[in-house]
Amino acid sequence: MRNYLLKRVLQIMPVLFGITIITFFIIHTAPGDPTSKMMDPRMTVAEKMRLKEKFGIDKPIIVQYVDWISEVVKGNLGYSWKFQRPVAEVMGERLLATFYLAAVSLLLALLIGIPSGVISATRQYTKLDYFFTIFALVGISIPSFFFALLLIKYFAIDNSIFPISGMRTIEASSWPIGAQIKDIIAHTVLPAIVLGLGSTASFMRYTRSSMLEVIRQDYIRTAHSKGLSERVIIYRHALRNALIPIITLLGFWIPGLFSGALIVEQVFAWPGMGLLGYQAIGDRDYPLLMGVNLFLSFLTLTGNLCADLFYGLADPRIKYD
């Protein structure tokens, strides 16, 4: 296991390096730059060049990348032009909010999606199976921003059940701890439902498909012939063998929650990494945008590595040399 883990970690490093090259060149070759909003039509060419020099974008793009990656290797992600602060510091303030929202959304998806998929598979072609199938289809098909607006319209505007935006009420810092926790939970409900809907639907579909394949295997029929209870057969034998595709989906879906949070956080004004990335795109804040993309790339590669490691826990036959 140790050798396999070390080998995979060493493989991640060049892949991450290649991703930074592609991302850096795509970002810097896009139309516009940070000085576009600052330039006065009456500015001279020399003044414009001095402004570009101030941000370091007057150099060739290859030189800019070498300067950036040299600082990243030292642990310095750069300096945000928009916030006038180190990128690591700006991201650190938003990271916890996004982790919290993604964790709640993923927990909802796992607690609802997997059991629903199991029930749908074990009661195939029943009304309950059709209900879950339709729910999964709607969950995958509906755009997240549209679903978010529907929830805001009904639960926040029409009925004032949940807050409309943000992570907490402005004056909540002076409230008792219990009231602050309730306030954060109330702000979390709507964005967590929106972000977790697609995940729930996907887990439901994959679980149903995988379970249908497993429960037709010979060893399941053998378990029935031995007189084992239906619960033991389904949840101890069948589900464990059906987890492999679900673990694969989970490895990809964890970073997908963070990238999908860009739209959800923008709609709900949630102070997380998604909203930060959206602001960085609009402001052409290259160091901050590269920091966000580097984080998402690392999370994607780490998610794939974790999925490979979890395969061995789900299936003891899988060995790591």
The total number of structural domains in the chain stands at 1
Which pLDDT does position 204 carry in this prediction?
92
Q: Give the range of the structural domain holding residue 289, as residue numbers without chain letter.
A: 89-314
More confident site: 258 or 64: 64
Position 284 in a domain: yes
Position 33 in a domain: no
Does the pLDDT at position 185 exceed 90? yes
**CA neighbours closer than 13 Å in the CB half-sphere of residue 181:** 3
Position 68 in a domain: no
Name the DSSP class of 194.
H
**Alpha-carbon distances of 116 from 57, 189, 209, 253, rounded to whole Å:** 53, 21, 12, 18
Position 79 in a domain: no
Residues 6+ apart with CB under 8 A from 2: none
How sure is the predictor about 321, in pLDDT bands with cuts at 50, 70 and 90?
low
Residue type, 179: A
Position 272 in a domain: yes
- Pick from 197, 102, 194: which is nearest to 153 by CA? 194
| CATH at 128 | 1.10.3720.10
Position 156 in a domain: yes
140-167 pLDDT tens trace: 888 888 999 999 999 999 988 999 888 8
Which pLDDT does position 81 carry in this prediction?
82
296-307 pLDDT tens trace: 888 888 888 888
**Alpha-carbon distances of 244 from 230, 248, 289, 305, rounded to whole Å:** 21, 6, 34, 14
Name the DSSP class of 124.
T
DSSP assignment of 48-114 equals: HHHHHHHHT-SS-HHHHHHHHHHHHHTT---EETTTTEEHHHHHHHHHHHHHHHHHHHHHHHHHHHH
Position 234 in a domain: yes
How sure is the predictor about 275, in pLDDT bands with cuts at 50, 70 and 90?
confident
Residues 6+ apart with CB under 8 A from 42: none
3-62 pLDDT tens trace: 777 888 888 889 999 999 999 998 888 777 777 666 666 777 777 777 777 777 778 889
Position 73 in a domain: no
For the record, the structure tokens of 165 come out as: 């935006």
CB atoms within 10 A of CB 5: 13
**Alpha-carbon distances of 20 from 69, 249, 281, rounded to whole Å:** 8, 24, 16
Contact 167/187 with Cβ under 8 angstroms? yes
Contact 144/263 with Cβ under 8 angstroms? yes
Contact 260/144 with Cβ under 8 angstroms? yes
Which pLDDT does position 130 carry in this prediction?
93
